[in-house]
Amino acid sequence: MTALDHFAAQKLRDLEARQLRRRLIESARTDGIYVARNGRRLISFSCNDYLNLSHHPKVKEAAIGALERYGAGAGASRLVTGNHPLFAALESRLTSLKQTDAACVFGSGYLANAGIIPALVGKDDLVLIDELAHACLWAGARLARANVLAFRHNDMAHAAALLAEFRPQHANAIIATDGVFSMDGDLAPLPALATLARRHDAWLLVDDAHGLGVIGDGRGSRFAHDELPEVPLQMGTLSKAVGGYGGYLCASRTVTDLIENRARSFVYSTGLPPATVAAATAALDIIADDHDLVAKPLRNARRFTAAAGLPEAQSAIVPVVLRTAERALAASRRLEDEDFLVVAIRPPTVPEGTARLRLAFTAAHADADIDRLAELVHDRVLA
Ligand SMILES: *Cc1c(COP(=O)(O)O)cnc(C)c1O
């Protein structure tokens, strides 16, 4: 064993001892609902494919057509020769859905946040971030070398106090939050955050990975509140309800022009493959047109929370917090015995002491399965 292998083995033993070691399990998804795993066919409540569009015939057909016409890969960064003709259609679908001047498509949501924040702020600036914001918002904030301050989850008084104390010492400031929190399913109070941003001359960046296609009639979290908050930086991903892959920023044309010049994850990474871009465009057309479909994940999540006696779901995501990794893993195994796939979520994805089951509801889940799962969670997991 080399010193490197010793180092890795020691780290893995340590994770194992704390029930935090993770392993890849081969998971075959051949429709939008079932997953074949360990020789079993399980109904998945752990996919973010909220509208089951990854397997929609129109989406697949669009991908196949693009692959045949433009090939398997983009060939280069979008700024070199990778900007194939399909990007323009995708970006125009995004701008019409999000009601912005412009959109800029990245390789993934993670790449978007890792690029956007450092392109806009630096060492003289402030990033104020919700403590439960997604790991890639944190990564972008740290890459920016800005002064990064976390406010307690959705605590507007705390955010206001931090801005009052620290905003004056910084040149520019970003307030960063998830629109729908990925592990809790609750919504950020975007109108209040927009007011704070205006009052303290800060730019609001909302990561809408779990809002697009699910809330606000499919337009996302900005459109899910009584008032329409000003969100100059609407970021999101094409990998959740859109069913494919890729990330985006919707903003003013001036801002996206700057991002296309300065975001390193945009400039120095290859453009998305044509098939991926065409699939996302087809999926966004479905999201824009099919109002009944986009209403279903939230309806299904609420059917579950009512039946299981949990607080009413605000999005397609429902957490069942069990505290320890051991309890979360045991609950996941118990549900798997009943043919449900509900993956246990452990630190560091969630804070220490809040390991949980995270249930993701999709449009195609059957009422009978939702009811059976609710009964199991109520009687066997929470009892
Ligand atoms: C999944 C997720 C991302 C990352 O998006 P990818 O396109 O999968 O890289 C970013 N933010 C949030 C809140 C997410 O849940």
10-56, pLDDT tens digit by residue?
999 999 999 889 999 999 998 989 999 989 999 999 999 999 999 99
75 pLDDT tier (thresholds 50, 70, 90): very high
Identify the band that residue 253 occupies on the pLDDT scale cut at 50, 70 and 90: very high
Pocket test for ligand 1, best of 182, 234, 237 (most atoms within 8 A of CB): 237
Helix (H, G, I), strand (E, B) or coil at 89: helix
Catalytic residue list contains 158? no
pLDDT of residue 143: 98
Q: Whose CA is nearest to atom 1 of ligand 1?
A: 209
- What is each CA distance from 8 to 16, 142, 180, 346, in whole angstroms? 12, 25, 35, 20
Nearest C-alpha to atom 7 of ligand 1 is from which residue? 109
Strand partners, 35: 29, 42
Read off the pLDDT of each residue in 123-132 and give the average, rounded to a whole number. Answer: 98
What is the amino acid identity at position 383?
Answer: A
Per-residue confidence (pLDDT) for residue 65, from 0 to 100: 98
DSSP string over 246-276: -EEEEE-HHHHHHHHHH-HHHHTSBPPPHHH
Pairing of strands 126-130, 40-44: unpaired
In 3D space, the residue among 134, 120, 127 whose CA is nearest the CA of residue 263 turns out to be 120
Ligand 1 centre distance from Cα of residue 371 (Å): 29
What are the pocket residues of ligand 1 if the criterion is a CB atom closer than 6 Å to any ligand atom?
108-110, 134, 136, 178, 182, 207, 209-210, 237, 239, 247
- 370 near 303, Cβ under 8 Å? yes
Go through the domains of the chain in sequence order and give each one's CATH number.
Answer: 21-54+291-381 (3.90.1150.10), 57-289 (3.40.640.10)
Q: What pLDDT, on a 0 to 100 scale, did the predictor assign at position 278? A: 98
Q: Which of 105, 136, 349 maximizes ligand 1 atoms within 8 Å of its Cβ, making it the mutation to test the pocket?
A: 136
Six-digit token string for 72: 């398997």
Centroid of ligand 1 to alpha carbon of 143 (angstroms): 17
- Quote the CA–CA distance of 240 and 322 in Å, as a whole number: 25
- How much of the chain is helix, strand and coil, in % rounded to 5? 45, 20, 35
**Residue 383 pLDDT class (50, 70, 90 cuts):** confident
- Tens digits of per-residue pLDDT, 172-200? 999 999 999 999 999 999 999 999 999 99
- Nearest CA owner, ligand 1 atom 14: 209
C-alpha distances (whole Å) from 14 to each of 8, 344, 361 are 10, 19, 34
E strand intervals along the chain: 27-29, 34-37, 40-44, 102-106, 126-130, 147-151, 173-178, 203-207, 233-237, 247-251, 317-323, 340-341, 344-345, 355-360
381: confidence class by pLDDT, cuts 50, 70, 90: confident
Q: Could you count the other beta carbons within 10 Å of the beta carbon of residue 371?
A: 14
Taking 90 as the threshold, does the pLDDT of residue 1 lie above it? no
| Catalytic (active site) residue 240 | yes
Share of the chain above pLDDT 70, in %: 100
Options 84, 210, 225, 296, the catalytic residue: 210
CA of 375 relative to ligand 1 center, distance in Å: 30
Tokens of 45: 């409540």
Candidate list 134, 170, 240, 296, residue with the active-site label: 240
